[in-house]
Structure 1
């Protein structure tokens, strides 16, 4: 029978703008912090699973900074789910019995990149013919489709930004640590209706890393006091739909991955104490309440209006500030979401601590498309 897998060291750098550092240096900073917390050195690492969307061979570049030991390095590109994919690959390889200690790293340097998903130069593009390919437009469109079904308003979406920006004021590693009252969010520059600028995630540089160990190795090293069990790990892509290839399906991959993760973990939505989900744009957070089973279909609007996802309420969501405030360095986000969960499960989240947290859920979606859901447990 395969062993349970634990996170024993995890960290992220303060997300921000670092034009004078290389992606390898950013990743090395996060990796060293994770290694230190796990009380291991680079020679204890048997494999590296790493990812970046804008830097090739990122794992090798990180190890050039902290120690090249000849181990296997797998580099991943999976859009916004890249970091979570690295954790997933590490988890699977350890479940197979090949390794007992691995390092997972996600790195992105996005300073100066501009808007994600902009149309590329070349022959006649699909942009404008089939609909916008830019991410604000994709999620604005998705938000309007959701609004038509549920009665959600622009104000409902703006409430997500108000909540998440407030949470970030308690997170020293978040990029934007500023209260944004509802009026400020609604009056901000319109990017793609119903999304204003303060309803969009922030392009930043960032890195996050985690050390995974098998249960026997954790016990051998005496690290159970800090170890967090990975109870569920699942990924999915979008099945073919009539909207393809014009409209991305931002919902179905999450629904599939969530069902798999719950089944693997042997728990349900009512067992989850906090969630870090992919709020790349405010409109989609309400959809993911439903996609992750936190409420019934069409009830996401009620959840945000009733404050059910605020800190101290029934199911706190994005207590870190989420991508809207923490920032969204694409490949680092999946591991950074797990870092937030680990803090709460260990009781180390300070003034934003979710009381008595035992189960946490991390979620990311990469378009086009890949969704990852992980359920972590305080053992």
Structure 2
């Protein structure tokens, strides 16, 4: 890859009452520009996405009418990774010297509202209640725990870690640390997932500034390089969000394909990853994605989690900013929040949640309906 990240900006996640996700997106962009030491007029390509808070390209009204090419992206929870790919490709192709990526969103309380018809499914899928994604996540982790002989207590351990990390993150929505007992005693929503094992839809905004890697040190001493980025969709036999049936023959998840692609592109193996942010829409998703991204073998999660390997002080810290569980999930911003966190960790500027071992390779992973995954590898 020939692109580097030279600026980042992230606004506090939560539920905005005195501002809007669009206004916060403008602030995030300006933060990223200031961090990179460039102006809006220096951006010659922009890309971004939002599911519910407006079109990203209309941010030029506040940022400035420079005539910049601005592409809108909507790829579910992989919107951030997909936007990043677009910016990286523009830089690598020579179409841009300096690019902006922005993601923002705002979602009301409760479950995400989706149109099953827009997802390629009939209305019957929604009227039977199958479009409630929490039910799918519960069924998937039930099956996974059974198939790989993993104890359900791992769900609470993962959630407790998320809320601990979130308590150290000034941008996190949920900043109250919760114990394993707190989580175990919370309301059962969809067995085996309890209240604090599921993330909440919310509001947020994040932005990045990229440039050609060879020019990166003109802007800052510590640029972070984009080693690889990839997005993949589902194959036959995979069991994904909004699947109308379960195949007799199991297939690999799009996460497996996306992770394999970025490691091959970068010439890096999973054992070289020092820190990872993975999709944790529920705490079971983190357990599954640890293996699907290649960070461990299926069934090894118990040993790793019990030994504290995935904690901030461990060998392989995962979801160091609290993940979706502590931050909530504004769809357009969520994937870029992961990139923002990995950039801070690679720079060594993550504050109280800075990982114990200085990282050199960072993985981010997103996953969403109806079976789409995006992965990115960053290096310093």
Which of the five TM-score ranges fits, normalised by the shorter chain?
Answer: over 0.9
1:231 to 227, 232, 238: 227
Q: Counterparts of 2:313 and 2:35 in 1: how far apart (Å)?
A: 28
Residue 297 of structure 1: how far off its partner (Å): 2.2
Residue 224 of structure 1: how far off its partner (Å): 4.2
Q: Counterparts of 1:293 and 1:311 in 2: how far apart (Å)?
A: 20
Question: 1:103 matched to which residue of 2?
Answer: 100
Contact 1:251 1:288 in 2 (8 A): no
Question: 2:170 matched to which residue of 1?
Answer: 172
Equivalence map 1:230-249=2 (5 Å):
230-241=226-237, 244-246=243-245
Q: Unaligned 5+ residue runs, structure 1? A: none
CA offsets, 1:153-198, max 9 Å, x none? 3311111001111111111111111121111111111221111110
Question: Are 1:92 and 2:89 an aligned pair?
Answer: yes
Contact 1:164 1:319 in 2 (8 A): yes
What secondary structure does 2:280 align onto? coil
Question: 2:361 matched to which residue of 1?
Answer: 359
Residue 204 of structure 1: how far off its partner (Å): 1.7
Contact 1:136 1:192 in 2 (8 A): yes
Residue 217 of structure 1: how far off its partner (Å): 3.2
Residue 286 of structure 1: how far off its partner (Å): 0.8
> What TM-score, normalized to structure 1?
0.92
Equivalence map 1:1-379=2 (5 Å):
4-60=2-58, 62-110=59-107, 112-117=108-113, 125-127=124-126, 129=128, 132-219=130-217, 222-241=218-237, 244-246=243-245, 252-354=253-355, 355-378=357-380
What secondary structure does 1:336 align onto? helix
User: How many aligned positions are there?
Assistant: 371
CA offsets, 1:229-270, max 9 Å, x none? 001111111112275433699961111011111111111111
Residue 333 of structure 1: how far off its partner (Å): 0.8
Q: Counterparts of 2:56 and 2:109 in 1: how far apart (Å)?
A: 18
**C-alpha root-mean-square deviation of aligned residues, in Å?**
2.2
Residue 63 of structure 1: how far off its partner (Å): 1.5
Structure 1 moving runs of 4+ over 4 Å: 117-121, 247-251
Q: Counterparts of 1:172 and 1:25 in 2: how far apart (Å)?
A: 19
Contact 2:46 2:71 in 1 (8 A): yes
Q: Counterparts of 1:210 and 1:168 in 2: how far apart (Å)?
A: 21
Q: Counterparts of 2:73 and 2:374 in 1: how far apart (Å)?
A: 14
Q: Counterparts of 2:143 and 2:211 in 1: how far apart (Å)?
A: 43
Distance 1:14-1:247 versus aligned 2 partners, 3 A rule: farther
Contact 1:59 1:105 in 2 (8 A): no
Q: Counterparts of 1:242 and 1:235 in 2: how far apart (Å)?
A: 16
